[in-house]
């Protein structure tokens, strides 16, 4: 029984007209629509958990970075008690930004307009000329702090939400956590960000990269054809579609719209084509081919931090690419180098809406904190060369997405639908430990369709 | 060596412009030849003659573009973050990139039409004989498809050019972009 959508756009369209759940189609017009965008900001970006950064960006008391939750700017701080806070970067006095830098260290954030000052935890210190009580006599100092978001950390990642009484981050990550742990919670010291993020703005709606992050594996074969031509992925330029490197694995997702693609290295990359795990123990597999970002010295830590089942999966068919709803992409990939090495590239992106026709692409690059310095250096270089601003993979995405949005404006074009009709259907593979919706075999549209169903669910709730 | 182990912005540095005090004066033979080389390089890139561009590169090239971060107060000038970059390349990876551009690199197929404007060129002698620090301003206009407005970027480039067999080869380039959030959709072009 389909539930009824709870909004009607000014031209009479309802959510069910836009997301056609009986035929697995989405109207192209959703990719640039002012009215829909405003609803998305209220019903998705002001409601759900959003990723803002990583605790290693703000290691000391008073450290801060400025980030965005939808179009609401926030200050992410660490206070003297080592607690992380996320506060709206809006002075409750006259609406000025309290913090005009992108990052730094401050024990107090003093608004440059009239001088109201706030502690890293967001609490109000006072206004200048204390004896004149320039914050007035209607509200107490306790009532004049910066508006606070609810904060939760996972694997050092800083998540926040305005939904103060909503589901916990654990509930939100749900079944996908079993797989995410294998990437974010696998070593004693955890991950660290290697530098501040790359940031750039694309002329496209946030949902175009958003839905791709719902584990669109299939586009790799054509859009990222240069990976096959360059000899990085398996196969030859002539036989790309016959070999279909990187297409076969197990896609996992869940009802919240998160998803991951779990792939065997041998199936994906030419340089690992001869690596066989046949008859080898988990330890032997890990030593033969450590998963992306893991070095041989770190292998014992995996057994300490993960369950037996999680280590076995990581050793055999590790999660490599995927997304967390609504606007996060993760790529923890094997990254063969021109010098023959392959220490992997660990990148996480958020796609932050900047209006219905713009998105900010933020690229966070990681390594394991306990990895050797040279490995971190190589991994930084791998990630920069493959992902983000100049990355040879994502250059092609950045040039494709704006053209989809341009099409979504045409009177006739916007009636075209995006089709998610190549479906596999949930099927539990043999010897599989994790939960969630599972799609073994060739990567299909299931996980991306689940992304749209999660979008539908949030958009249907006022 | 840069400490790559931290994302904290304390690692930011101020350094830009020329380091060497031994200036090569404007109008001198060496200055003129280097200026001509910069113009030739811009033309090779604008005309997508990548083999000609590669011929200008030293095989020990280091080619980077650190990110910029908006800072305030006491640290307001410490805004060049060398722990994170938009480009982190060497000669081999540049060859990988140009090789890709000759195949299915949709980011530049159809290609951008570009104009690189190179100005404010300052030259100084390095300690190693035959090597010169060359600092220049770069402004790029980039036209994509039939979009009527260009994407642009502005930057300072801190280069080291080496005199080899009668011509100059680029041995080091650091591109200091001005935007902390880039307005250009990607860096599928070289700067």
Q: Over the stretch B35-87, which tens digit does the pLDDT of each residue have?
A: 999 999 999 999 999 999 999 999 999 999 999 999 998 888 889 999 999 99
Provide the token pair at A49: 């958990």
Q: Is A107 on the interface with B (CB under 8 A)?
A: no
CA distances for A122 relative to A101, A161, A342, angstroms: 16, 16, 44
| Cβ neighbours for A291, distance < 8 A, ≥ 6 positions apart | A182, A314, A315, A318, A332, A344
Give the domain extent around B165. 22-177
DSSP secondary structure letter of residue A43 = I
Q: Is B89 on the interface with A (CB under 8 A)?
A: yes
| Cβ neighbours for A90, distance < 8 A, ≥ 6 positions apart | A73, A96, A97, A98, A146, A147
Q: Is B77 on the interface with A (CB under 8 A)?
A: no
Q: Which CATH superfamily is domain A174-459 in?
A: Naphthalene 1,2-dioxygenase Alpha Subunit; Chain A, domain 1 (3.90.380.10)
CATH 2.102.10.10 fits A50-162, yes or no: yes
Q: Is position B12 within any domain? A: no
**pLDDT in single tens digits along all 462 residues of chain A:** 445 568 999 999 999 999 999 999 999 999 999 999 999 999 999 999 999 999 999 999 999 999 999 999 999 999 999 999 999 999 999 999 999 999 999 999 999 999 999 999 999 999 999 999 999 999 999 999 999 999 999 999 999 999 999 999 999 999 999 999 999 999 999 999 999 999 999 999 999 999 999 999 999 999 998 888 877 776 677 778 887 888 999 999 999 999 999 998 877 777 787 888 888 999 999 998 899 999 999 999 999 999 999 999 999 999 999 999 999 999 999 887 767 677 899 999 999 999 999 999 999 999 999 999 999 999 999 999 999 999 999 999 999 999 999 999 999 999 999 999 999 999 999 999 999 999 999 999 999 999 999 999 999 998
Q: Which chain A positions have a beta carbon within 8 Å of B88's beta carbon? A: 380-381, 384-385
CA distances for A10 relative to A17, A128, A410, A452, angstroms: 13, 48, 18, 22
Confidence band for B3, pLDDT divided at 50, 70 and 90: very low
Q: Which chain B positions have a beta carbon within 8 Å of A385's beta carbon? A: 88-89, 93, 96
B69–A196 C-beta distance less than 8 A: yes
The pLDDT of residue A4: 54
The per-residue pLDDT for range B87-115, each reduced to its tens digit, is 999 999 999 999 999 988 999 999 999 99
A377–B185 C-beta distance less than 8 A: no
Residue of A nearest to B73 (CA): A101
Q: Tokens 């100059």 belong to which residue? A: B168
Q: Is position B189 within any domain? A: no
A396–B105 C-beta distance less than 8 A: yes
Domain of residue B172, CATH code: 3.10.450.50
Say how many domains are in chain B.
1
The per-residue pLDDT for range B11-44, each reduced to its tens digit, is 566 656 788 889 999 999 999 999 999 999 999 9
All structural domains of chain A with their residue ranges: 50-162, 174-459
Q: Concatenated DSSP letters for A74-117?
A: EEEEE-TTS-EEEEESS-TTT---S--SSEEE-S-EE-TTT--E
Q: Which chain A positions have a beta carbon within 8 Å of B78's beta carbon? A: none
| Cβ neighbours for A337, distance < 8 A, ≥ 6 positions apart | A343, A378, A382
The pLDDT of residue A274: 80
The pLDDT of residue A235: 67
With 60 as the cut, is the pLDDT of residue B7 above it? no
The pLDDT of residue B98: 95
- Cα of first residue to Cα of last residue in chain A, in angstroms, is 20
Q: Which chain B positions have a beta carbon within 8 Å of A56's beta carbon? A: 6-8
Q: Which chain A positions have a beta carbon within 8 Å of B144's beta carbon? A: 399
Q: How far away is chain B from the Cα of A196, in angstroms, using its nearest Cα?
A: 5
Confidence band for B9, pLDDT divided at 50, 70 and 90: low
Among A399, A400, A401, which would you mutate to test the B interface (most chain B Cβ atoms within 10 Å of its Cβ)?
Answer: A399
Q: Concatenated DSSP letters for A225-270?
A: HHHHHTTSBSS-GGGHHHH-TT-EEEEEE-TTS-EEEE--HHHHBG
């Amino acid at each position: 029984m389909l539930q009824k959508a709870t909004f009607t756009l000014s031209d009479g369209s309802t959510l069910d007209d836009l997301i056609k759940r009986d035929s697995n189609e989405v109207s192209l017009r959703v990719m640039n629509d002012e009215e829909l965008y405003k609803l998305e900001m209220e019903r998705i970006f002001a409601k759900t958990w959003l990723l803002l950064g990583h605790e290693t960006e703000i290691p000391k008391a008073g450290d801060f970075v400025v980030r965005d939750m939808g179009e609401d700017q926030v200050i992410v701080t660490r206070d003297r008690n080592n607690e992380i806070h996320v506060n709206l970067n809006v002075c409750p006095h006259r609406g000025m930004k309290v913090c005009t830098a992108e990052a730094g260290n401050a024990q107090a954030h003093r608004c440059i307009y009239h001088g109201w000052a706030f502690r890293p935890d967001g609490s109000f210190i006072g206004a200048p000329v204390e004896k004149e009580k320039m914050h007035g006599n209607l509200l107490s100092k306790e009532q004049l702090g910066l508006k606070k978001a609810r904060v939760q950390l996972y694997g050092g990642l800083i998540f926040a939400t305005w939904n103060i009484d909503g589901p916990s981050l654990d509930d939100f990550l749900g079944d996908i956590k079993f797989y995410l742990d294998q990437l974010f919670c696998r070593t004693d010291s955890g991950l660290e960000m290697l530098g501040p993020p790359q940031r750039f703005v694309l002329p496209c709606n946030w949902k175009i990269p958003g839905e791709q992050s719902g584990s669109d594996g299939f586009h790799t074969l054509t859009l990222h054809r240069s990976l096959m031509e360059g000899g990085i992925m398996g196969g030859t330029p002539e036989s790309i579609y016959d070999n279909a490197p990187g297409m076969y694995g197990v896609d996992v997702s869940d009802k919240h719209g998160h998803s991951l693609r779990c792939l065997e290295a041998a199936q994906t990359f030419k340089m690992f084509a001869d690596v066989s795990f046949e008859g080898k123990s988990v330890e032997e597999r890990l030593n033969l081919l450590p998963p992306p970002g893991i070095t041989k010295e770190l292998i014992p830590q995996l057994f300490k931090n993960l369950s037996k089942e999680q280590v076995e999966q990581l050793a055999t068919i590790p999660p490599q690419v995927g997304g967390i709803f609504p606007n996060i992409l993760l790529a923890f990939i094997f990254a063969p180098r021109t010098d023959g090495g392959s220490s992997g590239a660990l990148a996480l992106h958020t796609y932050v809406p900047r209006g219905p026709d713009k998105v900010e692409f933020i690229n966070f690059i990681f390594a394991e904190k306990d990895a050797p310095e040279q490995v971190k250096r190589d991994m930084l270089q791998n990630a920069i060369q493959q992902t983000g601003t100049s990355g040879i993979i994502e250059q092609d995405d950045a040039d494709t997405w704006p053209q989809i949005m341009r099409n979504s404006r045409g009177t006739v074009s916007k009636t075209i639908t995006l089709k998610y009709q190549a479906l596999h259907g949930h099927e539990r593979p043999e010897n599989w430990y994790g939960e969630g919706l599972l799609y073994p075999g060739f990567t299909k549209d299931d996980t991306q369709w689940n992304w749209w169903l999660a979008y539908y669910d949030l958009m249907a709730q006022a | 060596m840069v400490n790559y182990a931290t994302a904290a912005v304390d690692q930011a540095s101020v350094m830009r412009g020329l380091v060497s005090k031994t200036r090569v004066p404007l109008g001198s033979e060496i200055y003129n030849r280097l200026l001509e080389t910069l113009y030739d390089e811009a033309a090779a890139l604008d005309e997508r003659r990548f083999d000609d561009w590669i011929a200008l590169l030293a095989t020990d090239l280091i080619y980077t573009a650190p990110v910029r971060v908006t800072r305030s107060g006491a640290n307001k000038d410490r805004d060049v973050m060398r722990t994170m970059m938009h480009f982190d390349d060497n000669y081999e990876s540049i060859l990988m990139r140009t090789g890709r551009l000759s195949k299915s690199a949709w980011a530049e197929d159809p290609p951008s039409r570009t104009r690189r404007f190179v100005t404010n060129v300052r030259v100084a002698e390095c300690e190693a004989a035959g090597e010169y620090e060359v600092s220049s301003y770069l402004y790029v206009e980039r036209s994509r498809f039939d979009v009527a407005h260009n994407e642009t970027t502005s930057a300072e480039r801190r280069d080291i050019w080496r005199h080899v067999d009668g011509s100059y080869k680029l041995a080091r380039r650091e591109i200091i972009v001005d935007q902390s959030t880039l307005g250009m959709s990607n860096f599928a072009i070289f700067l």
